Amino acid sequence: MLTPILAYLLSVLLLCRIAFSQYSSDQCSWRGSGLTHEGHARDVEQVYLRCSQGSLEWLYPTGAIIVNMRPNTLSSAASRLSVCIKPSANSHGANIYLDRAGKLRLLLPEKEQALGKVTCFSIQEGALFIEAIPHRDISRRITSFQYELVSERTTSGVDPRLSSAPCQPCSDAEVLLTVCTSDFVARGTILGVEQEEEQSTVTVAIAHLYKQKMQVFASGGVRARRWMGQVRIPRQCGVKPGPGEEEFLFTGSIRFGEAWVGCAPRYKDFLRLYREAEQKGTNPCFVDTD
């Protein structure tokens, strides 16, 4: 026979175990369930994410959650970051708002999330307020998305609406710096351009691959002796193949597994800039131009 104290302790441990099983969280990703407060439909939970990329998965959404996103290091550059989110194809059950000082702005309605379109906003605009839509049957409803913190220039690639001039050419200083900081850097030519609704997919042949964070460019095999790949550019930039075999220096970032171009100067223009900076000793990093 259990004593009252022992019975109480066992019940507390059981409740803690159930609550722990409903939520899984680290600084990068969060996974939770609305079943923990199903009887309290007006409950609001705070979620904190501190990584440059991660994911959120809210099963059986009820009530609401507030998602606070911040980088895990403090710097002046943090205020110039933006948050990009990409809903999964089966995301539904809640509307996603931006919450700034208690004022809500609809960011992603439930019906648009299944499209998987990337949406971005400045990190200064506030937190995400995700509000469940009341349903009698919540058993098949999951709200989920991936997120990334990105700089202003690369954000204009995945969401051109954030920039008034997403196709503005990079300055000389930006060209030299982006070679050092980009996820991929390659010299090559444009083979073809496929126009889509909001972006252009550019097929390129690579003569020299300097670096790539992910498998953007793949080898065409021993006989081909060159690398091939695809990069993306906002459609309004009007990119098209240049005359003959004109070479460009392609640089940019990987966003949700896709390569987005940041700066893409003509290689001969980059070479001139690089050599001038080399003579002055102002190059931010070394590039093998031989």
69 forms bridges with which residues in the sheet?
Answer: 49
pLDDT at 6: 43
Report the sign of the C-alpha dihedral through residues 16, 17, 23, 26, in that order.
Answer: positive
Strand order across the beta sheet in which 53-59 lies: 24-25, 30-33, 53-59, 142-150, 82-87, 119-122
2: tokens are 């259990």
Average pLDDT, the chain: 80
Q: What distance lies between CA 235 and its chain's CA centroid? A: 19
Q: Where are the alpha helices (DSSP H) in the chain?
A: 4-22, 110-113, 152-158, 172-181, 267-280
pLDDT tens by residue, 215-231: 888 886 555 567 889 99
* Three-point CA angle 123, 57, 234, nearest 5°: 50
Residue 99 pLDDT > 70: yes
CB-based contacts of 232, cutoff 8 Å, min separation 6: 157, 199, 200, 201, 202, 258, 259, 260, 261
Query: DSSP character for 72?
Result: S
Residue corresponding to tokens 């993306």: 232
pTM attached to this predicted model: 0.67
The whole-number pLDDT of residue 101 equals 87
Query: pLDDT, tens digit, for every residue of 251-286?
Result: 998 888 889 898 899 999 999 999 999 999 998 998
User: What pLDDT, in 10s, does the model give residues 147-188?
Assistant: 998 876 554 445 544 444 557 788 999 999 989 989 999 999
Q: Which range is most confident: 90-99, 199-208, 244-253?
A: 90-99
Residue 8 has pLDDT above 50, yes or no: no
Q: Mean pLDDT lowest for which of 77-86, 114-123, 157-166, 205-214?
A: 157-166
Residue intervals of the chain classified under CATH 2.40.50.120 are 162-280
Nearest one of 124, 142, 123 to 133, comparing CA atoms: 142
The C-alpha atoms of residue 189 and residue 206 are separated, in whole angstroms, by 7
Instruction: Indicate the residue type of 245.
Output: E
Is domain 162-280 given the CATH code 2.40.50.100 in the classification?
Answer: no
Residue 78 is predicted with a pLDDT of 66
Q: Given this structure, which CATH class describes domain 23-150?
A: mainly beta
Where exactly does CATH 2.60.120 map onto the chain?
A: 23-150
Q: Does residue 13 have a pLDDT over 70?
A: no
**CA dist., res. 50 & res. 125, Å (int):** 17
Taking the C-alpha atoms of residue 99 and residue 201, their distance in angstroms, rounded to an integer, is 34
